[in-house]
Chains A and B, each alone.
Chain A
Amino acid sequence: MRLSTVRPACLAGLVLLLLSPAPPARAQILPDRPVAWFGGRVVIGGNVSVAAASTEDHTYFNSGTYTEDTMRLIAAALTSSIALHSRIGIEADLRVAGEPDGSHWYFRPRTLALKVQPLSTPKFHVQAGLLQTAFGTASNRAYGRENLLIGRPLIYQYATAIRGDAFPRHVPDLLHNRGLGAVAYYVVGDFFTYGDGDGSNYGYSGLPLADTSGWNAGVRVAAGGDGLNAAATVTEGSLSNPRSRGSSGGWQASGRVETRRVTGLVLGASAAHGRYLDRDLDVIVASAIDNQDPRETAFGLDAEYSRDYWLVRAEALYSRRTVPILRQPLLADVLGVSGLDVEGRYRLAPGWYLAARLGSLLFGPASDEAGSTSWDANAFRVEAGTGWSVTRGLLLKATYQYNRRDIAGPLHSAHRVAVEALAWF
């Protein structure tokens, strides 16, 4: 479902559901733990968050998918697992979000899938339906509560100059959009720029390296045991361009292996490969003079270590894409980009923590006869802040964020201060 097609009524509905009376904590606004019905066969959790920033995101550092400003956002999420049988169930992760001024609202499932446990062990299961790719760590983390800060890691949020529904005719087209990922425009494609009825027009933004905000359609197989877990997905929709964004088509395979053999240490490795451009572009892509079968390949490494009051996470991602070229000059390179996010948290006192995150995106060269430059502007971010749990289910955050990208002009850098209130159960 696209932008603005669902108005705040959706949020109201979801919030009402979140606030509905729950047996274990009937006197509270939100229950203080996942709510279970029917002897635990239906379990529901959820969260509501409101984030406000000191300034609007005029520099587009936080405007990621669907032009969503992650530091100026109202969002509600509902997770549910329904056990139909001892080995068959349904899992759902639904989300409503939009800007405080009532614009850009959407309702979207991140997961809505049938889950089957064919063997007696719960360590092996198969999911089919709308789901996340197996790549990386963000798809398995609850939005909001497991986000130490208010902004999101660059590799999961920052809009690059590559779009899923449009592409450059040639290298100058691409380079014209360096640093303009959130508002990148290409003549080829871009069928879906539309208005929301109030006179404003907007279209897709550029693709992040990985997008876990939407769903893909496909199958996921997961297995684990003895401290080693593995998952693989085959989906229609790709790591950077989920099927929920539009007609993102072609099949993509992704996989992740992680080890937890040392208490407190999680090490993971991921890979994904497949098509990333929308199927609506197929006819045009077929007429390209180079790269008629554009592909995206990504590799990721992640680590998490925690002990006592410390938590440290790091995630690195390398992504490379081929882009169809319609006119000379030809693009001599695949478009590679390396991303790294490192974050840490220290708990100062019960309910109170400090956290910080560093992120960077380094883009590879785009070369033609005229020379070589990075195909998008390198980006850097540092964010630091604090979180205070008023109660177990109510978390307040305040952060300062500095962003910089390697281009001159008004989009070069930005400072932002933001606060967020998050209620969850």
Chain B
Amino acid sequence: MPAWLFPLILALLPGGAPAAVPSQGAQTGALRGTVRIDAPLSVPQAAVPGAPLHVHGPEPYRQAVVYLDPAPPVSEPAAEARAVMRQRDAAFVPHLLAITVGTSVEFPNDDETYHNVFSLSKTRRFDLGRYAAGRSKAVRFDRPGIVRVFCDIHSQMNAFILVFDHRFHAVTDAEGRYRIDRVPPGSYRVTAWYEGVAHQTQPVTIANGGPTELNFALR
């Protein structure tokens, strides 16, 4: 098993001991910061004769997932949630999703061509078959773990879905910023993870009230 998977799997699997267990009714804080990614960028592109030449355009921004590792137990009931991962211009949009167990992800096809979304990940195996523009199929994720998503027709199409058994996670935005709200005060370890290429874990103490700043630099 790749070494980079261990911290994420430990975080995703239930049963991790929390660093701090807040009492019911305690105030919460927030965790925010930025993730700078200097790890190598892999530009998804078909490596087959006949494919278009490399098109010089804006470099796609890189997203990371930031999560508490392990997360504090909370008594909030799990809510039915929905997320969307589109198939657009022969790419998955967004390329990275972080969801909570019980979430259903819609996979609408926005392209004029067929796509065939599938995953052979142990966390969730599925194959949605080929469906045309305007149609969508959904998959519910009931186990925590990493799900690699691919298109059977376009080999360059790939995406990540990270399924957590808690809500203390966030995906960075275009500027690399993230924010995790309603974190019970206490001491935690926080991990920033980038597509299995790089990860970093740091300790942090969340105070009542205002946000706590924590920045990452992934190489």
Question: Is B126 close to A, CB under 8 A?
Answer: yes
Question: Is B79 close to A, CB under 8 A?
Answer: no
Question: Is B174 close to A, CB under 8 A?
Answer: no
- Distance of A101 from chain B, by nearest CB (Å): 31
- CB contact under 8 A between A93 and B49, given known A263-B133, A351-B125: yes
Question: Is B52 close to A, CB under 8 A?
Answer: yes
- Distance of A37 from chain B, by nearest CB (Å): 8
Question: Is A142 close to B, CB under 8 A?
Answer: yes
Residues of the B chain whose Cβ atoms lie less than 8 Å from the Cβ of A140: 49-50
Question: Is A349 close to B, CB under 8 A?
Answer: yes
Question: Is B41 close to A, CB under 8 A?
Answer: yes
Residues of the A chain whose Cβ atoms lie less than 8 Å from the Cβ of B155: 33-34, 45
Question: Is B26 close to A, CB under 8 A?
Answer: no
Q: Please report the C-alpha to C-alpha distance between residue A40 and residue B59 in the assembled complex, in whole angstroms.
A: 10
Residues of the B chain whose Cβ atoms lie less than 8 Å from the Cβ of A117: 52-53
**B127 and A33: CB pair below 8 A?**
no
**A43 and B47: CB pair below 8 A?**
yes
- CB contact under 8 A between A43 and B125, given known A27-B2, A33-B158, A306-B114: no
Residues of the B chain whose Cβ atoms lie less than 8 Å from the Cβ of A125: 53
Stretch at the interface among A64-72, A84-92, A167-175, A288-296: A84-92
Tally A-B pairs: CB < 8 A: 136
Measured CB to CB, the nearest residue on chain B to A44 is: B47
**B53 and A115: CB pair below 8 A?**
yes
Residues of the A chain whose Cβ atoms lie less than 8 Å from the Cβ of B188: none
- CB contact under 8 A between A122 and B53, given known A23-B40, A36-B42, A350-B119: yes
Residues of the B chain whose Cβ atoms lie less than 8 Å from the Cβ of A351: 118, 120, 125, 127
**B3 and A27: CB pair below 8 A?**
yes
Question: Is A421 close to B, CB under 8 A?
Answer: no
- CB contact under 8 A between A89 and B53, given known A45-B48, A309-B127, A350-B127: yes
Can you give 15 contacting A-B residue pairs, CB < 8 Å? A24-B42, A24-B196, A27-B3, A27-B4, A34-B46, A36-B43, A39-B59, A40-B43, A44-B47, A79-B48, A222-B50, A264-B132, A306-B130, A350-B118, A350-B125
- CB contact under 8 A between A81 and B127, given known A27-B3, A264-B132, A306-B114: no
Question: Is A41 close to B, CB under 8 A?
Answer: yes
**Which A residues are within 8 Å of any B CB, using their own CB?**
23-28, 32-36, 39-41, 43-45, 79-81, 83, 86-89, 91-93, 111, 113, 115, 117, 122, 125, 131-132, 140, 142, 222, 260, 263-264, 306-309, 311, 347, 349-351, 389, 391-392
- Distance of A34 from chain B, by nearest CB (Å): 4
Question: Is B123 close to A, CB under 8 A?
Answer: no
Question: Is B113 close to A, CB under 8 A?
Answer: yes
**B129 and A260: CB pair below 8 A?**
no
Question: Is B195 close to A, CB under 8 A?
Answer: yes
Residues of the B chain whose Cβ atoms lie less than 8 Å from the Cβ of A27: 2-4, 196
- Distance of A84 from chain B, by nearest CB (Å): 9
Measured CB to CB, the nearest residue on chain B to A80 is: B47
Q: Please report the C-alpha to C-alpha distance between residue A389 and residue B148 in the assembled complex, in whole angstroms.
A: 14
Residues of the A chain whose Cβ atoms lie less than 8 Å from the Cβ of B48: 45, 79, 81, 93, 142
**B50 and A87: CB pair below 8 A?**
no
Measured CB to CB, the nearest residue on chain B to A35 is: B42
Residues of the B chain whose Cβ atoms lie less than 8 Å from the Cβ of A36: 41-45
Measured CB to CB, the nearest residue on chain B to A127 is: B49
A-B CB proximity, top 6 nearest: A40-B43, A27-B2, A83-B54, A45-B47, A122-B52, A23-B40
**Looking at B53, B55, B59, B126, which has the most chain A CB atoms within 10 Å of its CB?**
B53
Q: Please report the C-alpha to C-alpha distance between residue A196 and residue B45 in the assembled complex, in whole angstroms.
A: 41
